[in-house]
Every structure is written in C-alpha cells, then in structure tokens.
Amino acid sequence: MTTIGVLGCGLMGAGIAQASAAAGFRTVVLEVDDATLARGLARIEKFLAGGVEKGKMTADEKARILANLSGTTSYDDLRDCGLVIEAIVEQVEAKRTAYARVEAVVGPDCLIATNTSSLCVTELAATTRRPDRFGGLHFFNPVPLMKLVEVIRAQTTSAATHDALLGVARAMGKEPVSAPDRGGFIVNRLLIPYLLDAIRCLEQGLGTVEDIDAAMKLGCGYPMGPFTLLDFVGLDTTYFIADILFDEFREARFAPPPLLKRMVLAGQLGRKSGRGFYTYA
Ligand code: CAA
Ligand code: NAD
C-alpha cells in the first residue's frame, strides 16, 4: 500500500492526512470545496511549522511530509489508493454517498476505513459493495499527538483487512488496539459516562467547573479536567455520541444530562463556538 486517501480535511481528517504523509504514504486528502480544503491544509502546515519551532522536526522533514501530501476536491484523484480513510461529518447518509463515490474510482482491493466515533461500523460496511474490505480506524484528537488508534472489526471485516489496518496504524507511529464494533468501542464507552457524570455533579452543586477540573487533573493526573475536555471534544459531538450509546444500551449512565442538551441547543458547543463550560477568545 503506497497511496492513502483521506476523506475530509477537518479537525480529524487533517491530523490523519498529516500522520499518513509523515509515515511516508503518498496521501491524497479530499474536501468538499477549495476554500475548506485550503483551511484544512493550512491547519497541517501550521502544526508542522509549530513542530519545527519547538525543535520536534527539521524544516527538511516538514518539507518531506508536505511533499507526500496533496489536496483535491475530485474523487478521480483517489483512483490509485490502497486504502481510503473517511473522516467526514458523522451522518450515515453522507458517509454512504461518499463510499459510493470512492467505489466508483478505486480498484477492487482498495480498503475503506471509517474514523466514526459512534456509528455502527457494520451498518456503514453494509452500505458498500466491499463489507469484508471495510473496518474502523478510530483516531483521537489531536491526532498528531495522540498515540492510540482503535482498530474496529465490523461483523463482516475479514481477518486480512483487520490485520492490514493494524499494520497501517503501526506504520503511522500509533499504538493500535483492536476493538469490537459495539457502541463507543473501548474509549468512548468508558469516557462518555465519565464526562456525563461530571456534568451531573456540576448540576448537583458538587463543585464549580474550575474546582471539578482541578480535582480530576491534579487528583488523578489526567492531562485535562472533564470540562476542559468536553469543550475540546465539542459538546455537540459528546451529546451525539451519548445519544447513540443510550440508544444501543438503554442504560441511564449514557443518557445526556439536561444541561448538556440545553447548552448544545443554545449553540454553546465548546472551543469551536467560542463558548462552552469556559469562554474562549
Ligand atoms: N509539533 C510537534 N510536537 C508538538 C507540537 C507540534 N506542533 N505541539 C505540541 N507538541 C508536543 C509538545 O512539544 C509536547 O511534547 P513533549 O511532551 O515531548 O514536551 C507534547 O506535544 C504536548 O504538547 P504541549 O505541552 O504543548 O501540550 P499539553 O502538554 O498541554 O498536551 C494534549 C496537549 C496532548 C492535547 C493533552 O492536553 C491531552 O492529552 N489532552 C487530552 C486529550 C484527549 O483526551 N483526547 C481524546 C479526546 S476523545 C476523542 O478524540 C475520541 C472521540 O471519538 C471524541
Ligand atoms: P469536522 O467537522 O472538523 O470535519 C469534517 C470535514 O469533512 C469538514 O471539513 C467537511 O467539509 C468535510 N466533509 C463533509 N462532507 C464531506 C464529503 N462528502 N466529502 C469530503 N469531505 C466532507 O469533523 P471532525 O471532528 O473532523 O469529525 C470527522 C469524523 O471523525 C466524524 O466521523 C467524527 O465522529 C470522527 N471523530 C471525531 C473526533 C473529535 O474529537 N472531533 C474524534 C474521533 C473521531
């Protein structure tokens, strides 16, 4: 496998494309229009420039990574890909349409992987003509700094496909962990109830946002307190994942608390909207 396609150059797609290009794969990242593509590529350039500034890489290494990377808005440019990683909006119908457009141009051996946080990978695989050559590659935000990739085996994923996806994750310098296609996989199944519980604690007056964050950060050695992390992941994303988990398991711990729902309805989505549990300049 020498060429990898990435669908979407947003928060996750840009990081995945960067990790792929840094691993030496020819990487083609696709966006919906030129302006969005330019914003995504600028995000990669900015991160790499930061790396050079911090002494994490040389200017030559940065240039080598960027030389492996090209952006496009045309599915035709994905034709040589051995793997296409999809990181577009979290909607089954949008993903199904994108897979059909990929399948119209790639060869029969090309694998497709989804970076979905919460959708059923088996359902997504079933929308394609290659359910055995389809699986999940679940990266974590911020992709260039987070070592974990959950490699998800759908009901239909072949052993060869699963092994190939584990290999790609390792080649990108990540630590892959195999996870079954069950709501939330491993990380979100454990992380989301913790984040929801933090909101319930706030609603019950257990402490302020700042105090709960400081307690979990300093008391447990977590890099971020739960409210900083909620703002970082996005309150809409958290709400969406919680809803899907609740739908799958029908357990109260996955039910989104009333405050979360109201903040999302009010457009208080965290860092991305400038306001969540904290306010951002
Ligand atoms: N290039 C290269 N290296 C860089 C860099 C760059 N542009 N920017 C930062 N780094 C390096 C730093 O030099 C530093 O390296 P050292 O440890 O060797 O010094 C390291 O990356 C950490 O950077 P910072 O010190 O600037 O930042 P930090 O210590 O505050 O860490 C963080 C930032 C990694 C995001 C940390 O806060 C963290 O791990 N937070 C939790 C994130 C998390 O939980 N993510 C998962 C969310 S859930 C999800 O993604 C799944 C889902 O489905 C929703
Ligand atoms: P985002 O909104 O930042 O980026 C999505 C990008 O996809 C946008 O730039 C959009 O223009 C583009 N896009 C939409 N439809 C497209 C199409 N048909 N073809 C090509 N590009 C298209 O979203 P994100 O946070 O990067 O999430 C992307 C995926 O990654 C979702 O499935 C999400 O669940 C998953 N994910 C998100 C996180 C997170 O913390 N945000 C973590 C892990 C996984």
Q: Which domain holds residue 209?
A: 188-273
Identify the pLDDT of residue 1: 78
Same-domain pairing of 219 and 198? yes
Same-domain pairing of 35 and 80? yes
Cα(232) to centroid(ligand 1), Å: 11
Same-domain pairing of 169 and 203? no
Report whether residue 88 contacts ligand 2, using a CB cutoff of 6 Å. Answer: yes
Which residue, of 127, 154, 180, is where some domain finishes? 180
Same-domain pairing of 150 and 221? no
CB 121 within 8 A of CB 112: no
State the CATH number of the domain containing residue 254: 1.10.1040.10
Identify the pLDDT of residue 147: 98
Residue 278: inside a domain, yes or no?
no
Identify the pLDDT of residue 198: 98
Same-domain pairing of 90 and 131? yes
State the CATH number of the domain containing residue 15: 3.40.50.720
Which residue, of 157, 180, 203, is where some domain finishes? 180
Tokens of residue 51, six digits: 């790396």
pTM: 0.96
Of all protein residues, the one whose alpha carbon is nearest to atom 1 of ligand 2 is 10
Identify the pLDDT of residue 5: 98
Residues of the chain with pLDDT under 70: none
Phi and psi for 73 in degrees, rounded to 5? Answer: -120, 10
- 93-135, pLDDT tens digit by residue? 999 999 999 999 999 999 999 999 999 999 999 999 999 999 9
Same-domain pairing of 209 and 135? no
The C-alpha R_g of the chain, in whole angstroms, comes to 19
Catalytic residue among 138, 175, 203, 251: 138
By most ligand atoms within 8 Å of CB, the mutation choice from 6, 7, 11, 77 for ligand 2 is 11
Same-domain pairing of 56 and 128? yes
By most ligand atoms within 8 Å of CB, the mutation choice from 6, 7, 12 for ligand 2 is 12
Same-domain pairing of 256 and 172? no
Neighbouring CB atoms inside 10 A of 206's CB total: 12
* Ligand 1 surroundings by CB, under 6 angstroms: 47, 50-51, 54, 56, 117, 140-142, 145-146, 188, 223-224, 229, 233, 237
Same-domain pairing of 46 and 89? yes
Domain total of the chain: 2
Is 150 one of the catalytic residues? yes
Is 138 one of the catalytic residues? yes
Same-domain pairing of 116 and 213? no
